[in-house]
A and B are shown apart, each in its own frame.
Chain A
Amino acid sequence: MKTCLIVDDSSVIRKVARRILEGLEFTIEEAEDGEQALAACQRKLPEAILLDWNMPKMDGYEFLRVLRRLPGGDGPKVVFCTTENDVAHIARALHAGANEYIMKPFDKEIVEAKFQEVGLI
């Protein structure tokens, strides 16, 4: 089973995403912000990361930049999942190494389509 790290400061979003991704047969880990996510990645890199942008302590963009510089940090497929739904943010995310981008609100079909797009399912 592949592991997906869900990074979002909203417990509701984490719960919804967990339910969707467990349905797609992922093992789930959770983090509330970029710092927690980084600590989780330093312990063990997941195959997938579903990543919010705006979070306390370290935001998703900064986390991604640090992640991609870690040894093996280019491995996880990173799918942003955020309310930052404009072209400039999407372009910045891709430039920083994001593989896909989900604009909130989302549902199971969108998550499934995006994870398929990057070869996770």
Chain B
Amino acid sequence: MTPADFDYLRKMLRERSGLVLSAEKQYLAESRLLPLVRRNGLASLADLIGDIRLKPSSQLATDTVSAMTTNETFFFRDKAPFENFRDYIMPALVAVRLREKRIRIWCAAASTGQEPYSLAMTLNEMGPALAGTRVEILATDLSGDVLDRAKAGLYSQFEVQRGLPIQQLLKYFTQEGDSWRIAPEIRAMVQFRTLNLLNDFSPLGTFDVVFCRNVLIYFDQETKIGVFNRIAKQIPDDGYLVLGAAETVVGLTDAFKPMPERRGVYTPNLAARRAGPVTLFASAKF
């Protein structure tokens, strides 16, 4: 790939998905895009970038962005967020939603579905503790391809062995050859929708819990701040934001504050909300 083509690709990725590809990651671009080159009958990466330059709105351009996103995920990843969800967040929300009896959850980077299905299984296990509360899970991702996989709910033997306890596998999956398919009742608990995290979130409505894990690490500071700001608008005062182990709001926005002793869990900063528009540290350097 020529330096000019690589620069064009980096600029396009940043503008369209927020993904920041550092200058030394050319090898990554080549390894991820060569299969796309072959699949589309193109001769080279130069042809791929050339086609995208001519037709920036084409399916090929969309597929290129999708191929460059990292879809690494597994069931019950990091465990603690799901324990916090089951033992603290949901009981607290059920208690304050006794009248509405409705809780909305958003998985903002759902990838191939392991996170939303882990939440759905957790909710299913909670049973009576939900006190008849209707829980909706919206799972979004930039890539339609990975969401198609998520909707199918069909996982390889390798995928179901990363994070999923064996009892859960037997309880919630059926075997299809070498693969395992999620149970229809768990599948039915999750709605899937493509969404770019650079876009406006207001059409989605408000959410009591937002899981936005292991995606912001790929964004630059400015993009992270924008995402936090827009998520903050969709969360009520008593809602929760859950981030990945390597992510934080600290130093980026005062829209949220970390919950002491519940790593990765954040609540709206009510003092900042009452003080007026969310303060963002757009010029902060870290």
Contact = CB atoms under 8 A, between A and B. Distances in A.
A111 B217 CA distance: 27
Interface stretch (A9-17, A56-64, A69-77, A86-94): A86-94
Interface in A74-114: 85-87, 90-91, 94, 100-103, 106-107, 109-110, 113-114
Contacts of A22: none
B167 interface: yes
A109 B162 CA distance: 7
B161 A114 contact: yes
A110 B161 contact: yes
Question: Contact residue range for chain B?
Answer: 10 to 19
Contact of A113 (B157, B161, B167, B175): B161
Interface residues of A, number: 18
A86 B158 CA distance: 14
B155 to A, nearest CB: 12
A109 B79 CA distance: 15
Contacts of A114: 161, 166
Interface of A: 85-87, 90-91, 94, 100-103, 106-107, 109-110, 113-114, 116-117
Given A110-B162, A117-B165, 10 more contacts: A90-B166, A90-B169, A91-B170, A94-B167, A101-B166, A103-B161, A106-B161, A110-B161, A113-B74, A114-B166
